[in-house]
């Protein structure tokens, strides 16, 4: 269960240590992944087929790597109407939220003949990794694809491991089709990341790879970074809930469990203003936890990384939250919006008593790909910005260059870079 700390008795740094160092290391992973990437680079499709046979127990050939139109039509026949309705509503909300992030370039015309500015261009081709396995994650498809689509990326490629019969999970296929994916390939693991980064006969290389995966996928993304861009290497998840006296303990307990069920490394943190409230929430947790399908994961996550802290007021709760920089922050307090200005570091902020984290995870509009493990101090949710690149441009006329010439040559000479100065000098002294 959540360990209780008290700021008046416990040292702040001891408390914060608990959620640090949640990474698990595995030295074998890196060498395995390096070998897989090398093979993909050397043998292309042949290596893709081999690893899919080894790891997924599915025999692909060059014709069946790519998901066909017929397979997608079939998926639409399989899934329930209610699912299509729900995912369409989610897509609409997510598109609307992300459409506000679209940016234009700018240009500056200065007196005289000086013209400069910044271009904003979409990436040309991106890859989205979607995990396979027993569960399917259509929400992951839409959260990764829609910002790219809104940014104007023309070629959005998805890779996902084949199901046991060599097909594709129908919920994933439907979500991909509705979100606007242009190509889908039935490959997964480090081999799929290699194919996206280097290209094979069937899969053209991309400019950026996004999406979550297991430790092999995460390691492969780290290793191809530089050849292509990547979103982030996601660490374990966390939720931090600030609950005041009026917060319903049932709601608080339910929300604490909603992140803990993801992963035994997830951290659930409760900040509240009285020990009575804490006791009430713990009592609720003890009842609700037994009804959860994934109660074993929840219990392990709570006992390793769960924590509760009694603070003197809401402002102190937020001060502590800013140090932790949680992925998800729920402010279950009266007048929650009044505290928004105090929040300095958090991936996504959920305000009030009726905004549980899963509302944002699936549906409302903001992205669920968020900075984890304290990185909200310096990084941001996945957004349209993640799928664009910028270039600066500059034009000076001869007359304007001559006005600046002396200063530039002086600065170049102070840095000992005389060929830099020469490129200005040659335009006036030698012609």
296-315: contacts with a copy of itself (CB under 8 A): 298
Check 98, 284, 328, 368 and give the catalytic one. Answer: 328
Tell me how far apart the alpha carbons of residues 35 and 155 are, in angstroms, rounded to a whole number. Answer: 28
Stretch that binds a copy of itself, among 32-40, 64-72, 269-277, 397-405 (CB under 8 A): 397-405
Q: Is 368 a catalytic residue?
A: no
By CB under 8 A, name the one of 4, 7, 29, 119 that touches a copy of itself.
Answer: 119
> For 226-369, where are the E strands, in sequence order?
229-230, 238-243, 267-272, 307-310, 328-332, 348-351
29 binds a copy of itself (CB under 8 A): no
- Count of residues touching a copy of itself (by CB under 8 A): 126
- Six token digits for residue 55: 């790891």
319 binds a copy of itself (CB under 8 A): no
Tell me how far apart the alpha carbons of residues 130 and 213 are, in angstroms, rounded to a whole number. Answer: 7
Distance in Å, CB of 247 to a copy of itself, minimum: 12
226 conformational bin, left if phi > 0, alpha if psi -120 to 50, beta if neither: left
78 binds a copy of itself (CB under 8 A): no
- Six token digits for residue 147: 């910002």
Type and span of the H or E element at 157: strand 155-159
163 binds a copy of itself (CB under 8 A): no
By CB under 8 A, name the one of 255, 264, 267, 305 that touches a copy of itself.
Answer: 255
Q: Is 25 annotated as a binding residue?
A: no
Q: Is 191 annotated as a binding residue?
A: yes
226 binds a copy of itself (CB under 8 A): yes
Q: Is 373 annotated as a binding residue?
A: no
Distance in Å, CB of 263 to a copy of itself, minimum: 11
Instruction: List beta partners, residue 230.
Output: 209
> In Å, what is the CA distance from 373 to each residue of 159, 325, 333?
26, 8, 24
How does DSSP classify residue 54? I
38 binds a copy of itself (CB under 8 A): no
Give every CB contact of residue 327 below 8 A, 6+ residues apart in sequence: 237, 238, 239, 346, 347, 348, 370, 371, 372, 373, 376
Stretch that binds a copy of itself, among 5-13, 41-49, 273-281, 344-352 (CB under 8 A): 344-352
Q: Is 415 annotated as a binding residue?
A: yes
The annotated binding site for Zn(2+) is made up of 259, 262, 361, 420
Residues annotated as catalytic are: 327-328
């Amino acid at each position: 269960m959540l360990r209780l700390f008290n700021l008046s008795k416990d040292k702040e740094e001891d408390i914060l240590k608990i959620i640090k160092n949640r990474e698990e290391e595995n030295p074998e992973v890196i060498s395995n992944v390096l070998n897989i990437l090398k093979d993909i680079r050397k043998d292309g499709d042949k290596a893709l087929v081999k690893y899919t046979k080894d790891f997924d127990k599915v025999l692909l050939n060059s014709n069946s790597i790519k998901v066909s139109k017929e397979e997608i039509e079939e998926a639409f026949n399989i899934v329930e109407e209610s699912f299509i309705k729900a995912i369409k509503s989610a897509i609409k909300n997510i598109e609307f939220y992300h459409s506000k992030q679209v940016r234009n370039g700018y240009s500056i015309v200065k007196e005289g003949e000086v013209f400069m500015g910044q271009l904003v261009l979409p990436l040309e081709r991106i890859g989205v990794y979607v995990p396979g396995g027993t569960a399917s994650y259509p929400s992951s498809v839409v959260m990764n694809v829609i910002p790219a689509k809104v940014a104007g990326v023309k070629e959005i490629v998805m890779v996902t491991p084949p199901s046991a019969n060599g097909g594709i999970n129908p919920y994933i296929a439907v979500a991909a089709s509705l979100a606007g994916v242009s190509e889908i390939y039935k490959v997964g693991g480090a081999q799929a990341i290699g194919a996206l980064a280097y290209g094979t006969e069937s899969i053209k290389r991309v400019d950026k790879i996004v999406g979550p995966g297991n430790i092999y996928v995460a390691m492969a993304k780290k290793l191809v970074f530089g050849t292509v861009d990547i979103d982030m290497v996601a660490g374990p998840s966390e939720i931090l809930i600030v609950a005041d006296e009026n917060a319903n303990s049932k709601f608080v307990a339910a929300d604490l469990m909603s992140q803990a069920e993801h992963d035994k490394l997830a951290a659930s943190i409760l900040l509240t203003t009285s020990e009575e409230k804490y006791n009430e929430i713990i009592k609720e947790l003890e009842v609700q936890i037994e009804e959860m399908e994934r109660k074993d994961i929840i219990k392990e996550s709570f006992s390793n990384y769960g924590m509760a802290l009694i603070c003197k007021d809401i402002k102190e709760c937020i001060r502590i939250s800013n140090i932790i920089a949680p992925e998800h922050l729920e402010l279950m307090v009266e007048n929650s919006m009044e505290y928004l200005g105090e929040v300095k570091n958090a991936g996504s902020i959920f305000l009030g008593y009726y905004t549980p984290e899963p509302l944002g995870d699936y549906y409302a509009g903001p992205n669920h790909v968020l900075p984890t493990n304290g990185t909200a101090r310096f990084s941001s949710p996945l957004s349209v910005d993640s799928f664009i690149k910028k270039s600066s441009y500059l034009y000076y006329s001869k007359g304007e260059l001559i006005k600046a010439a002396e200063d530039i040559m002086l600065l170049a000479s102070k840095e000992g870079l005389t060929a830099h100065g020469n490129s200005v000098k040659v335009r006036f002294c030698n012609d």
